[in-house]
Amino acid sequence: MSTPCPPSLLSLAIDAALFNLHNISDLSFLPEHLLIDLFLRTLRAGKLTDRILRIFVATGKEEILSVIQALNIQFVLTPVLPTITIDSNEVDIVIAAFHSDLTSFMEEWRPIFSRFHLIIVEDPDLKEELKIPKGFDFDVYTKSDIDKLAGSSNAAMFSGYSCRYFGYLVSKRKYIISIDDDCSPAKDNNGDLVDIVTQHITNLRTPATPFFFNTLYDPYRKGADFVRGYPFGLRSGVTCVLSCGLWLNLADYDAPTQSLKPELRNSRYVDAVLTVPKNTLMPMSGINLAFDREMVGPALLPALKLAKEGKFRWETIEDIWCGLVVKAVCDHLDLGVKTGLPYVSRNERGSAIDSLKKEWEGVKLMEELVPFFQSLKLSPEAVTAESCVTEIAAAVKKGLGRSHTELANVADSMVAWLKIWKEVRSRV
Partner 1 sequence: MASPTPVLKDELDIVIPTIRNLDFLEMWRPFFQPYHLIIVQDGDPSKVIKVPKGFDYELYNRNDINRILGPKASCISFKDSACRCFGYMVSKKKYIFTIDDDCFVAKDPSGNDINALEQHIKNLLTPSTPFFFNTLYDPYREGTDFVRGYPFSLREGVPTAVSHGLWLNIPDYDAPTQLVKPRERNTRFVDAVLTIPKGTLFPMCGMNLAFDRELIGPAMYFGLMGDGQPIGRYDDMWAGWCMKVICDHLGLGVKTGLPYIWHSKASNPFVNLKKEYKGIYWQEELIPFFQAATLPKECTTVQSCYKELSKQVKAKLGKVDEYFIKLSDAMLTWIEAWDELNPSAPLPNGNAK
* Residues at the site binding partner 1, with contacts judged by CB under 8 A: 189, 211-217, 221, 223-234, 244, 246, 251-254, 257, 261, 264, 266-272, 276-285, 313-314, 317, 320, 323, 339, 362-363, 366-367, 370, 374
Contact assessment for residue 285 and residue 252, using Cβ atoms and an 8 Å cutoff = yes
Shortest CB 331 distance to partner 1, Å:
11
What is the spatial distance between Cα 404 and Cα 307, in angstroms, rounded to a whole number? Answer: 12
Chain center to CA of 15: 56
Which CB sits closer to partner 1, 19 or 213? 213
Label residues 326-364 b or e (16+ Cβ within 10 Å = b). bbbbbbbbebbbbbbbbbbbbeeebebeebbebbeebee
The residues that bridge with 275 in the sheet, in sequence order, are 338
Shortest CB 229 distance to partner 1, Å:
3
Find the helix or strand (DSSP H, E) in which 274 lies. strand 273-275
Which CB sits closer to partner 1, 312 or 417? 312
Which CB sits closer to partner 1, 23 or 78? 78
Residues 6+ apart with CB under 8 A from 55: 24, 25, 26, 27
Shortest CB 126 distance to partner 1, Å:
24
SS3 289: strand
Shortest CB 363 distance to partner 1, Å:
7
Shortest CB 170 distance to partner 1, Å:
27
Which CB sits closer to partner 1, 100 or 351? 351
Label residues 231-263 b or e (16+ Cβ within 10 Å = b). eeeeeebbbbbbbbbbbbbbbbbbbeebbeeee
Pairing of strands 91-97, 117-122: parallel
Nearest to 26 by CA among 49, 51, 46: 51
Which CB sits closer to partner 1, 292 or 318? 318
366 to each of 245, 282, 363, how far by Cα in Å? 21, 11, 6
Which CB sits closer to partner 1, 181 or 319? 319
Shortest CB 129 distance to partner 1, Å:
32
Which CB sits closer to partner 1, 246 or 303? 246
Which CB sits closer to partner 1, 271 or 423? 271
Which CB sits closer to partner 1, 123 or 359? 359
What is the spatial distance between Cα 35 and Cα 72, in angstroms, rounded to a whole number? Answer: 18
Which CB sits closer to partner 1, 116 or 312? 312
Shortest CB 365 distance to partner 1, Å:
10
Helices (H), 59-126: 62-70, 103-113
Half-sphere exposure of 81 (CA within 13 A, CB side): 2
Shortest CB 337 distance to partner 1, Å:
10
The residues that bridge with 97 in the sheet, in sequence order, are 122
Shortest CB 223 distance to partner 1, Å:
6
What is the spatial distance between Cα 194 and Cα 248, in angstroms, rounded to a whole number? Answer: 11
Which CB sits closer to partner 1, 73 or 272? 272
Shortest CB 59 distance to partner 1, Å:
29
SS3 216: coil
Residues 6+ apart with CB under 8 A from 82: 198
Nearest to 342 by CA among 137, 176, 177: 177
Shortest CB 230 distance to partner 1, Å:
6
